[in-house]
Amino acid sequence: MKPPATAGRRVLWLLLVAGLLGVGVAWLLSGATPAEGPIRVLADGLGASALGLAALPRLAERLRVPWRLLATIAGSWCAAEFALLVFEAAEVVDTPVGELGLGSFGAFVRDTSGGQVGVAVLAVTALIAVYGAYAFRTGDGSPDLVLVFAAVALALRPITGHMSQQVFGSVLAAAHALAAGLWFGLLVALALVLRGRGEWAAALPRYSALAGVLIAVVAATGVLNGLIRLGGVGGLLDTGYGRIMLAKTAVLLALAGLGWWWRRGWVPRAAGHRVRAENSLRRAVTETLIMALAFGLAATLAVTA
C-alpha cells in the first residue's frame, strides 16, 4: 500500500478531475456553464472534505482528526472561496475577471448581500484553517468546533440563495447542502485516513448506516428544491437547469444502488475483518469519484440562473 500522504494526494486529484467532469457534463446538457462552475465544485468539495475530517471521531472512538491535513484542506477551501468571490463580483459588475478593479470588488463585497455572504464564508474558512494549524502544533483541538464552523460555511450560500424566497426554502437548502457534504465528506475522509483493516471494520458499518439516511435527505430535498425552482416538471427537459437536474438524479440513483449492493457484501465482510484494507480503499475511492461527478453537476446547478 502506498504511504498515506501519497495515496491521499492521488485521491484528491482524482476527485478534482471527477468534479470537473461533472461540470463538463453539465455544460454539454445546458449549452452554457457559468465561469465560476469549476471554482464552485472545488470549494464545495474541499468544504465537504473538511467537514468529513472533523466528523471522523463520531464514526469510531479510535479515529482522530488529522489536523495537519484538515488545515491544508481548509486553507485550500479558503483560497477557492476567495476565487469564487472574485468571479461573482466580476459577474455582478459585468466585467471580465482580469479587468475587475479593486474599487468594483470592494463595492461588491460592501454593498451586496452576495458579497457580504462571500466575505463571511471566507472568514469562517480562514478561521478553520488557522484553528487546524493551531491544533496540529499543540495537539489540542476540538473536532466539534470545526464541525460547527464547517457546517456554517457550507450552509451560508444555500440558505441565502434563491430558495430563501420560498416558504421553508432556507431549511430545505441547508438540509440538502449539509447532508450532501457529510455524505461525501465522510467517505473522502475515510479514504484519506484509514489504512488498516481494523480501522475499516470499526468505521465503515457506522458510515454505511448514516449514508443511507443522508442520501435519502439529499434526494428528497434536491427534488423539492429543483421542482420549486422550475415551477413544476415541465422544465425538466426543456431547460438546461432541468436536464442537469435529471442527470444529477440519475447519478444519485446509481449511487443508491451501489450503496445497497455494497451494504450487502462489502460492509459486512469489512466489519468481520474479511476484506483487505487496499480493497476497502479501492471501493471507497470508486464511490467518492461518482459522488464527485454528482458534486460537479450540483455545483453547476447552484450557479445556473
Lookup: cell for 120: 463571511
Prediction pTM value: 0.92
216, part of any domain: yes
68, part of any domain: yes
Size of the chain in residues: 305
Confidence of residue 86 (pLDDT cuts 50, 70, 90): very high
Cα angle: 113, vertex 118, 119; to 5 degrees: 100
Contact (CB, 8 A) for 156 and 260: no
How does the average pLDDT of the chain come out, rounded?
Answer: 89
Higher-scoring residue by pLDDT: 160, 13: 13
In degrees and rounded to multiples of 5, residue 51 shows phi and psi of -60, -45
| For residues 231-243, average pLDDT | 79
Contact (CB, 8 A) for 150 and 50: yes
CATH number (domain holding residue 238): 1.20.1630
191, part of any domain: yes
Range of the domain at 253: 4-300
Please give the tally of structural domains in the chain.
1
Least confident range from 12-21, 106-115, 129-138, 154-163: namely: 154-163
305, part of any domain: no
Q: 214 pLDDT exceeds 90?
A: yes
Lookup: cell for 147: 464541525
What are the DSSP E strand ranges found in 16-75?
none
Close Cβ partners of 5 (under 8 Å, ≥ 6 residues apart): none
